[in-house]
Amino acid sequence: MRSQLARKPANTYHHGDLRDALVKAALREAEQGGAEAISIKALAKQLGVSQPAPYRHFADREALLAAVTAEAFRQLSAILREAMAGTSKQSKLSRLAQATLEFGLRRNGIYRLMFASRTVACADRGSELHEATRETFSLVIEALEAPAVGYLRERQALKIWAALHGVVMLAEQGLFTGEAAHATREELVEDFVSETKAALAAAIKGARRRKATDT
């Protein structure tokens, strides 16, 4: 007797599968055109599901963008961790900085979704996206390889984070070629790394000297 087991159609999803499929498909769209390229209607059609189906997992387009951006930050964090764990003679901060630059230049659509949209700014504290961004920034602090003295590490981490994003965004807009400074983008990033480490070391030394004087 032939089995009567029905086969699952290729374009149907178990509970939870569609959410993941939507996030992955949206990431692919963002690779090409940033946040503006993501359309729930187009994604539903691409995945072969009804137009209402995505709304079982995401209340609206903004909710989908938040989930996609959180996944993008998790991917960046994984890349940065791998870079920091490398065995080259470069410092952890140098490896992290160069990996960030490469990510921004190679995956610019995703990068713009992460850093040039209002998605992160609108994320609630404690949300999936908020936690993903905090995790990424914590790696910048870790890469400094310095003791915690007040908020000196956090301040320097924020400075180099802003500088790195400035280079990526200028390069993406065609406004930075390095010709004016006779330096490549990679060389400029190394300058940021050296200046950051020197500034942090000096700030920590000064703070400890003041503490010793006060006591």
Nearest to 77 by CA among 87, 69, 65: 69
Confidence at 14, pLDDT banded by 50, 70, 90: low
Q: Can you give the C-alpha Rg of the chain in angstroms?
A: 22
**pLDDT for the residue 148:** 94
1-10, 38-47, 80-89 — which is least confidently predicted? 1-10
pTM assigned to the model: 0.88
pLDDT at 13: 61
Section 169-189 average pLDDT: 82
The pLDDT mean for the chain works out to: 90
Residues 6+ apart with CB under 8 A from 104: 111, 164, 165, 168, 171, 172
- Residue range 148-163: mean pLDDT, rounded: 96
Q: What percent of the chain has pLDDT over 70?
A: 90
Res 11: pLDDT: 56
For residue 129, give every residue at least 6 positions away whose Cβ sits within 8 Å of its Cβ, in sequence order, or none. Answer: 66, 67, 69, 70, 73, 119, 120, 123
Per-residue pLDDT of 20-72, as tens digits, reads 999 999 999 999 888 899 999 999 999 999 999 999 999 999 999 999 999 99
Q: Report the range of poorest mean pLDDT among 102-116, 168-182, 197-211.
A: 168-182
Q: Which residue has the higher pLDDT, 179 or 193?
A: 193
